[in-house]
Structure 1
Amino acid sequence: MFDMTRWYELSLLLHASSVLFYFIDFLHHNRKANRIAFGLLSIVWGMQTFFFFARMVETGKFPVLTLAEGLSFYAWLLITLSLAINRWLRVDFLVFFTNVLAFFILSLHTFAPTPYTVGIAEQLMSELLFIHITMAILSYGAFSISFMFSLLYLLQYELLKKKKWGKRLWRLGDLAKFDDLAYVLNGVGVPILLLSLILGVVWAYMKVDHFVLYDAKVLGSFTVLATYSFYLYKRAVKGIQGKEMAVWNVGSFLILLINFFLFGTLSQFHF
């Protein structure tokens, strides 16, 4: 007898991995990442199809009459459309954003305490919080190292501007390398933080009494996501590089620190 809890966890993990690889392709036009994301999403589709038809056999009807069943079918439909779009139309950006929405819907369905998933939902709820926190910290780690590279960029930029040649300047490294590494790390941190916030909102909605999106910590976290997302937009879409992006990155990290140390104390449920 297999454990359905583990299957639900694996489905979410594979879906999150697919979103991350689609984001890599979204930023860097990486066809290998796109193929990996497509493969992972295909596996998720197969698992969700199995869950859907297993529920249909169990109930003897087309399972869309309850809210949970509707969410399950909606998530499955979004994944199906994403695969079709990716296979025939190659609208990659639409696929990425559609899968973020599908991941959110799938998370709601998986962790919602419905009559036929109460045991699974309760067993997963504490693990959901653990995953949310772990992913948030991982994203903060990526942003922190990115911040260091931007600081090094600004330091070397000033040394070059003032023509202070010497061993210290040569030991610092290449300006373009610092700029690229900061960009890559932010490209890793943003999708991880996005997935973490999705899972965090789902957990809070299920477990916190009178949860509101305008909680200080929630607003602060989404502000952090917005500032780093705008950084990626300016860098990847507008093609802006150099000092302007380094300054923006430093400012984004300061907002992150404010959110981490100040807004957490003002939150109704973050401690």
Structure 2
Amino acid sequence: MLLNFIYLSIVVFYSLSILGFFIDFIQNNQRVNRIAFWLLSIVWVLQLLFLIVRTMEYNRLPLMTIFEGMFLYSWIVVTLSLIINKFYKKDFLIFFVNLIGFGIMTISIFAPTGDVSPRLTELLILELLVIHVTLLLLSYGTFTLSFAFSMLYFIQNNMLKRKRWGKRIKRIGNLSTLGQLSYIFTLIGFPLMLLGIILGVIWAWVKFGMVPWFDVKVLSSFLVLFMYGLFLFQWVVKKKRGYSLALLNIAAFLVLLINYFLSTSFSNFHIW
């Protein structure tokens, strides 16, 4: 009952926060922006409270089911967006990032919310698997921010090409900064995902004596890693910058989203 009340409160406050950021996006209303920011801060507190209560209720870390994974992903996105706003004041970034976070959390409503099966509980108590899941969720959060910066780059680039001058261009930020921040968060997310995949491979080998290399989610995870690796290679080695890299980063994130939801549909190994 308490969890349901907290969850409902999160949805209400999150919706109002997104609405506030949208109004600011359209009207450049700083007062509404400040209200939206504080509403988002309340969302963060409520999400943390939800995770703590669920941990106490089920006596385990809340990342073992599809619902919990999505919810934790959303909390990570909110956390990172609040931190970024503290240091960079990228209002539009907060709006775009939390559209994704809210979408993920909303989709989680349709996911199974109960406890995991005894068989799965036995498997997931291994600390190795917990770290594997946590690292991957953290990488998803950082890649989400990287995607948001690339989307802002894409929007800004097109506005400049069409010579649409105005306050909105200044608020989005210059292309060089957007590209640099997109690179930084990809640079953070890449080793997190790499370590997460490596730990997943080790866990599968220790637990089952085999690794499901041809499982569709495993294959798509390597594809995601390859695309982000290609992005970093183009940036660091080839010294490339600009519009094409922003598109590559956007494409990589779309593949990541497909990969994230594969476990519910096509994967025979990653069954939550």
TM bucket normalised to smaller:
0.5 to 0.7
> Cα–Cα, structure 1 residues 124 and 165, in superposed 2: closer, same or farther, change >3 Å?
closer
After TM superposition, list the pairs within 5 Å mapping 1:104-253 onto structure 2: 126-208=126-208, 211-253=211-253
8 A Cα contact 2:151 2:250, kept in partner: yes
Distance 1:221 1:123 in 2: 21
> Cα–Cα, structure 1 residues 124 and 150, in superposed 2: closer, same or farther, change >3 Å?
closer
8 A Cα contact 1:216 1:264, kept in partner: no
Distance 2:129 2:265 in 1: 19
> Which secondary structure state, in structure 2, belongs to the residue aligned with residue 266 of structure 1?
coil
> Cα–Cα, structure 1 residues 124 and 147, in superposed 2: closer, same or farther, change >3 Å?
closer
After TM superposition, list the pairs within 5 Å mapping 1:35-46 onto structure 2: none
After TM superposition, list the pairs within 5 Å mapping 1:94-113 onto structure 2: none
Q: Could you list the runs of 5+ residues in structure 1 that have no partner in the other structure? A: 1-121
> Cα–Cα, structure 1 residues 127 and 160, in superposed 2: closer, same or farther, change >3 Å?
same
> Which secondary structure state, in structure 2, belongs to the residue aligned with residue 176 of structure 1?
helix
Match of 1:269 in 2: 269
Distance 1:123 1:144 in 2: 29
> Which secondary structure state, in structure 2, belongs to the residue aligned with residue 165 of structure 1?
coil
Distance 1:194 1:147 in 2: 18
Aligned residues: 150
TM-score when normalising by structure 1: 0.53
Identity of aligned residues (%): 46
> Cα–Cα, structure 1 residues 123 and 270, in superposed 2: closer, same or farther, change >3 Å?
closer
Aligned-residue Cα RMSD (Å) equals: 2.0
1:207, distance to aligned residue in structure 2 (A): 1.9
Match of 1:258 in 2: 258
Which contiguous aligned blocks of 4+ residues in structure 1 show a shift greater than 3 angstroms?
A: 122-125, 208-211
User: Residues 20-74 of structure 1, C-alpha deviation per residue, up to 9 Å, x if partnerless?
Assistant: xxxxxxxxxxxxxxxxxxxxxxxxxxxxxxxxxxxxxxxxxxxxxxxxxxxxxxx
8 A Cα contact 1:125 1:203, kept in partner: no
8 A Cα contact 2:212 2:269, kept in partner: no
User: Residues 64-102 of structure 1, C-alpha deviation per residue, up to 9 Å, x if partnerless?
Assistant: xxxxxxxxxxxxxxxxxxxxxxxxxxxxxxxxxxxxxxx
Q: Could you list the runs of 5+ residues in structure 2 that have no partner in the other structure? A: 1-121
User: Residues 78-133 of structure 1, C-alpha deviation per residue, up to 9 Å, x if partnerless?
Assistant: xxxxxxxxxxxxxxxxxxxxxxxxxxxxxxxxxxxxxxxxxxxx999710000000
Distance 2:224 2:209 in 1: 25
1:236, distance to aligned residue in structure 2 (A): 0.5
> Which secondary structure state, in structure 1, belongs to the residue aligned with residue 126 of structure 2?
helix
Distance 1:264 1:203 in 2: 21
Distance 1:232 1:219 in 2: 20
1:135, distance to aligned residue in structure 2 (A): 0.2
